[in-house]
Amino acid sequence: MKTVSFRDGHTIPALGMGSWNVGDATATRAEEIASLHAGLDAGLSVVDTAEMYGSGRSERLVGEAIRGRRDDVFLISKVLPSNASYEKTLRSCEASLDRLGTDHLDLYLLHWRGGVPLEETVEALTHLQNRGMIRRWGVSNFDTEDMQELDELGADCAANQILYNLEARGVEFDLLARDKAAGIVSIAYSPLGQGGTLLDDPVLIDIAKSHETTKGPASPAQIALAWVLRQPNLLAIPKAGSRVHMRENIAALDLVLSKEDQTRLDAHFAPPRSKTPLEMI
């Protein structure tokens, strides 16, 4: 399986599992947990959640899904910028650990940049790391200039979670290369597009027709995922609310896009020619 390595040498699979909008409805809960179990069974250890998602409902569902198998999981959660002061960061982390039913996170991210000085949040994250409550920390939705500021603080940031898919390619201009050169893992969120627009795209549908996976004919979602996963040392975290979607996404790991596919995709979803501000949702 394709992997991603952190600067500290820790290695994880390049495909992980998102969990935004899970745990919100009783009717879908069992299937959402079964989907995460299917991913864990296949060796996808990374689960991404956040205190924001469903005001803790996602963390509670993830906590239920990983009970008894914490050692199989690389757990990511996030602190909201409104909770990113020194004291509130410590309290947010404790509350996330409580909802997740664990004593540590493998990666803790500042969800996006807010009004609290970076230095103060970094101090809190470093304190959590020293206490063993988080193994490493990172950021999310940070553009090149924000990363530069972190650098100037001498901060030991492990990852930057960003919007990256065929429709949002701006980060290819400089951010992806910058983070890679610094040994910072890029984590691509919403790899299937915002609102699933990529799934109906005629070019993706057509390219999918020319590929087979071990589980049968390829789908547009698999093409979109394979395209994101072509980037070196990048983790993609699609959210699959069902076992069918989870298994389909796992099979995308085996899919290799041809040069011709990539040229068609570049013609349809143009790569950036200049710096554009980082997009986020």
Q: 77 and 43 in contact (C-beta within 8 Å)?
A: no
Residue nearest to ligand NDP (CB): 18
Among 14, 15, 19, 74, binds ligand NDP (CB under 6 A): 19
Tell me if 249 contacts ligand NDP by CB under 6 A.
yes
**In the range 124-163, which residues lie near ligand NDP by CB under 6 A?**
140-141, 161
Which DSSP helix (H) or strand (E) runs through 264? helix 259-268
Among 70, 144, 241, 254, binds ligand NDP (CB under 6 A): 241
DSSP, collapsed to helix, strand or coil, labels residue 217 as strand
Tell me if 189 contacts ligand NDP by CB under 6 A.
yes
- Catalytic residue ranges: 53
Give how far the C-alpha of residue 178 lies from the chain's centroid of Cα atoms, to the nearest Å.
Answer: 18
Rounded CA gap, 44 and 74, in Å? 9
Please identify, among the stretches 59-67, 98-106, 169-177, 240-248, the one whose residues bind ligand NDP according to the rule CB under 6 A. Answer: 240-248
> Whose CA is closest to 105, among 186, 29, 159, 42?
159
DSSP, collapsed to helix, strand or coil, labels residue 243 as helix
Residue 218 is given by DSSP the state -
DSSP, collapsed to helix, strand or coil, labels residue 48 as strand
Tell me if 191 contacts ligand NDP by CB under 6 A.
yes
Please identify, among the stretches 15-23, 65-73, 118-126, 202-210, the one whose residues bind ligand NDP according to the rule CB under 6 A. Answer: 15-23
Please identify, among the stretches 67-75, 87-95, 128-136, 191-199, the one whose residues bind ligand NDP according to the rule CB under 6 A. Answer: 191-199
- Nearer CB in complex with ligand NDP: 127/245: 245
Q: 192 and 225 in contact (C-beta within 8 Å)?
A: yes
Tell me if 101 contacts ligand NDP by CB under 6 A.
no
In order of 65, 142, 171, 195, the CA distances from 114 in angstroms are 31, 11, 21, 25
- Phi/psi at 82 (5° precision): -70, -15
- N-term to C-term CA, the chain: 29
Among 196, 232, 271, 272, binds ligand NDP (CB under 6 A): 196
Among 110, 138, 238, 253, binds ligand NDP (CB under 6 A): 238
**In the range 202-221, which residues lie near ligand NDP by CB under 6 A?**
219, 221
Residues that bind ligand NDP (CB under 6 A): 18-20, 48, 111, 140-141, 161, 189-192, 196, 199, 219, 221, 237-242, 245, 248-249, 280-281
